[in-house]
Structure 1
Amino acid sequence: MIRIAICDDEASIRAYLTSLIRAQSCPCEIVEYPSASACLADRRELDLLFLDIELAPSGSGLDGMALARTIRERSSGTQPVMIFVTGHQRYVFDAFDVGAFQYLLKPVDEEKFAQVFARAVEQIEAGRVQPQLSHALTLQSAGTSRTVPLDSIYYIESSNHKVVLRLKDGEFSCYAKIRDLEAELGDQFFRIHKGYLVNLAYVEGYSKTELTLTNGEKLLISKYKYQDFVKAYLRFVKRGAGL
């Protein structure tokens, strides 16, 4: 069951998008919001959000783009896949700044909608599959050896000729070079910044400037790494889902 929301201040647009969703072969639950404040007041977790960029500011004072940023800044709960609906193509780049999956121009074309919707559902279902991590990393520290399962590592941080492993149960540091660990760990981890090597299994959401991990932490993404990160992450998700 895919949990879908439509946030648009025009009732006719909400009704039309609902009819398009119902026409797809996908079991789903749909909720409609006429304003940003109505969307924020309902704390249910969503898988997919259709959002009007030009949403008229309501009691919350938020338009569609401000609502998207507010949702992305939440440190808990599921981050929905966002599809922006707009009457103007000039907003496209703003949409991708908040991690939008895609955008649809009004009036929404039925065939284009079906294509975008199908790809969004694929991403949602892939994200629900937790990749099985069975390998471990063995490190030396203070004359002792420690083996750390990869599924216990959120990310690895480089700090003063040492690396710090941020783990589910705390942290562990040792003398090592992050570039050596990057080569050893392969494509399950990705170096999003010169100081961060991230476990892709625990990425919950991302924008062009930062990513959010499932534990709520946010890490900066280097602008030089962003495009390669997106490609690596999508490959990782598809592989975990068997696609």
Structure 2
Amino acid sequence: MPIHTLIADDEPAARHRLRRLARQEPDLDIIAECADGATAVEQIRALQPELAIVDVHMPRLDGLAVAEAAHALESPPLFIFVTAFAEHAMKAFRVAALDYLLKPVEPEQFARAIQRARTTLAQQSSAAMGDKLSALLAELGRDGGAAGAVRAAAAGATGGFLERIPVRHDDRVTYVRSRDVDYFEATGNYVRLHVGKQVLQVRQTMAALEHELDPDQFVRIHRQTIVNLDRVREVQPWFAGDFIVLLQDGTDLRISRTYREKFDAAMSRGRR
């Protein structure tokens, strides 16, 4: 299956380099090239690519704004950001970037990012097929079987907050204990579960997930991030009134001003 891909960079030489690297990946199909962010948003809406490789610095709209606009779509693409400045990497991941590439982009670096895209797209396809199967079971009146078992197991013995999260792998379902997840990260119509060095993915909205998790254990700190409070090591000031949460493993996550008060209240309850 080809990966329909959009490239956006205001520098012609940079677009040429990305195009040349893309030719080394037989399943990449470049369906659009854009020289500014506004055009990139228009093309993403019109063409619905699976992957967008976007420069951070562009006229009219920068790459981060392009990603923010695209994530409002029903099926946003995966984003790989290209930047000449390493400090932009943190901002890139805060808008659910799949990866970022430092200019000048090296072939090995590009190939690794594309392989991550392949893996993620395959996981999304598997999850979508699982959703279709559940819908079919429900339509046939068999929801109390396979699909019902998944929900029952996820709810836990108490029937309260979500204790185990079902993760589909092709035709299998495995369960991850909620308390083992370091943080949850939204990416389009999916949520990534960061469990140590492992990253899993489920089809779920952040709003629905937030209501199912224990608020004494998990708190939303950004539109795209829910953190396990047991993993929080310290908080540091960042830019424009925002703060950074440092986790026990060194991961840094941004707290937006919208969620700062909620985070402070959760931490001050003294239950961690």
Unaligned runs of 5+ in 1: 136-145, 164-175, 228-243
Query: Counterpart of 2:108?
Result: 111
CA contact (8 A) 2:164 2:175 kept: no
1:50-61 pair list within 5 angstroms: 50-56=53-59, 58=60
> Which letter does structure 1 place at the counterpart of 2:159?
K
**Greater RCO, CA 8 A, separation 6+:** 1
| Residue 152 (structure 1) shift | 11
Query: Counterpart of 1:182?
Result: 163
Query: Counterpart of 1:96?
Result: 93
Unaligned runs of 5+ in 2: 135-142, 168-172, 194-200, 211-224, 232-272
Query: Counterpart of 1:31?
Result: 32
Query: Counterpart of 2:19?
Result: 18
Sequence identity percentage: 23
| Residue 33 (structure 1) shift | 1.1
Cα-to-partner distance string for 1:69-125 (whole Å, 9 max, x where unaligned)? 111233x2x221111100000011101101111110001111211122122122213
TM-score (norm 2): 0.54
> Which letter does structure 2 place at the counterpart of 1:204?
N
| Residue 53 (structure 1) shift | 0.8
Structure 1 219/9 Cα, relative in aligned 2: closer, same or farther at 3 Å? farther
Cα-to-partner distance string for 1:152-210 (whole Å, 9 max, x where unaligned)? 9999999xxxx9xxxxxxxxxxxx6224x6359686566879xxxx9xxxx823489xx
CA contact (8 A) 2:7 2:30 kept: no
| Residue 128 (structure 1) shift | 1.7
Query: Counterpart of 2:226?
Result: 222
For 2:51 and 2:62, locate their aligned partners in 1 and report how far apart those are by CA, in whole Å.
Answer: 18
| Residue 212 (structure 1) shift | 9.8
> Which letter does structure 1 place at the counterpart of 2:70?
I
> Which letter does structure 2 place at the counterpart of 1:182?
E
Q: Secondary structure at the match of 1:96?
A: helix
CA contact (8 A) 1:52 1:64 kept: yes
CA contact (8 A) 2:5 2:29 kept: yes
Instruction: State how many pairs are aligned.
Output: 185
1:1-243 pair list within 5 angstroms: 1-42=2-43, 43=45, 44-56=47-59, 58=60, 62-74=61-73, 76=74, 78-129=75-126, 130-132=128-130, 147=144, 150=147, 177-179=159-161, 182-183=163-164, 204-206=189-191, 219-220=209-210, 221-224=225-228
RMSD between aligned alpha carbons?
A: 4.2
For 2:207 and 2:88, locate their aligned partners in 1 and report how far apart those are by CA, in whole Å.
Answer: 28
> Which letter does structure 2 place at the counterpart of 1:48?
L
| Residue 147 (structure 1) shift | 2.9
Query: Counterpart of 1:142?
Result: none
Q: Secondary structure at the match of 1:16?
A: helix
For 1:34 and 1:20, locate their aligned partners in 2 and report how far apart those are by CA, in whole Å.
Answer: 18
> Which letter does structure 1 place at the counterpart of 2:50?
D
For 2:51 and 2:88, locate their aligned partners in 1 and report how far apart those are by CA, in whole Å.
Answer: 20
CA contact (8 A) 1:3 1:28 kept: yes
